[in-house]
């Protein structure tokens, strides 16, 4: 058997594909489209890949802003780290540096905060334990994430980006306290009121309007 460039070899791969092959190609294609559609769908519906505010910030400026934030809302100290309790609705700053997360945050449930994350030295990884919340913390960028704690508890921030010999010691802390009572005492934030209103409206029967039947109430 011989063949030249003009006369190609005999083969079978350009013969019409077998039916089962077409079926498998169709299945694979449909599945690709499903996965493709899942990306935008899960972004919008699944509450993942948060669309945060991102802008550039000088590490030194971020450090100063964090210091100001700490000064403004400091309520105590724990293990040489300031404990800070910002009011609901406020901007919250969390600074990553070798090898600590500063400060310790005290947040309230059902209140929305804008959490600003940045690093003042190298890349760190924000991992809110025990949840599957992961975020790159990059020096030079301020990542603002809208967060609304839903469950009271004592959480840890674990660094999941190797950042030097102290990497494994870089553990921060977020304490979430029940926001209901104290927020009410302070008059509550707009966000809290909105959340309460939203959760009350569907479960409460509307105030009885004058009944058409002449009404006995
Ligand atoms: Cu910071 Cu690892």
Q: How much distance in Å is there from the Cα of 139 to the middle of ligand 1? A: 12
Straight-line distance from the first to the last Cα atom of the chain, in angstroms, rounded to the nearest whole number: 102
Q: How many Cα neighbours within 13 Å face the side chain of 109? A: 11
Residue nearest to atom 1 of ligand 1 (CA): 124
Summarize pLDDT for 69-79 with one digit per residue, the tens. Answer: 999 998 988 88
pTM equals 0.63
Tokens describing residue 127: 């991992």
Between 216 and 46, name the one with better pLDDT: 46
Q: What is the mean pLDDT of residues 192-213?
A: 37
Which residues, including other chains, have CB under 8 Å from residue 81's CB and lie 6 or more apart? 100, 102, 103, 104, 173
**Range from 30-34, 47-51, 106-110 that averages highest in pLDDT:** 30-34
Q: Which atom of ligand 1 is nearest to the CA of 99?
A: 1
State yes or no: pLDDT of 84 exceeds 70: yes
Name the H helices within the chain.
19-45, 59-73, 180-185, 190-200
Q: Which atom of ligand 1 is nearest to the CA of 166?
A: 2
Q: What is the mean pLDDT of residues 99-123?
A: 92
DSSP 8-class letter at 139:
B
Which residues, including other chains, have CB under 8 Å from residue 134's CB and lie 6 or more apart? 125, 126, 127, 160
The mean pLDDT value of the chain amounts to 79
């Amino acid at each position: 058997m011989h063949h030249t460039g003009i006369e190609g070899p005999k083969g079978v791969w350009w013969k019409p594909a077998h039916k089962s092959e077409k079926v498998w190609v169709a299945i694979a294609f449909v599945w690709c489209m499903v996965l493709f559609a899942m990306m935008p769908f899960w972004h919008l519906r699944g509450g993942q890949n948060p669309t945060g505010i991102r802008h550039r910030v000088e590490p030194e400026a971020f450090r100063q802003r964090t210091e100001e934030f700490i000064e403004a809302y400091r309520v105590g100290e724990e293990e040489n780290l300031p404990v800070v309790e910002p009011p609901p609705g406020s901007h919250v700053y969390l600074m990553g540096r070798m090898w600590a997360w500063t400060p310790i945050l005290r947040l309230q449930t059902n209140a929305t905060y804008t959490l600003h994350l940045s690093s003042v030295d190298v890349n760190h990884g924000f991992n809110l334990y025990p949840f599957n919340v992961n975020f790159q913390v990059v020096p030079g960028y301020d990542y603002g994430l809208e967060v609304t704690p839903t469950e009271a508890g004592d959480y840890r921030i674990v660094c999941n980006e190797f950042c030097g010999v102290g990497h494994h010691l870089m553990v921060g802390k977020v304490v979430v306290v029940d926001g209901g009572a104290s927020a009410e005492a302070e008059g509550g934030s707009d966000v809290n009121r909105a959340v309460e209103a939203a959760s009350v409206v569907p479960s409460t029967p509307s105030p009885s309007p004058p009944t058409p039947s002449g009404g006995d109430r």
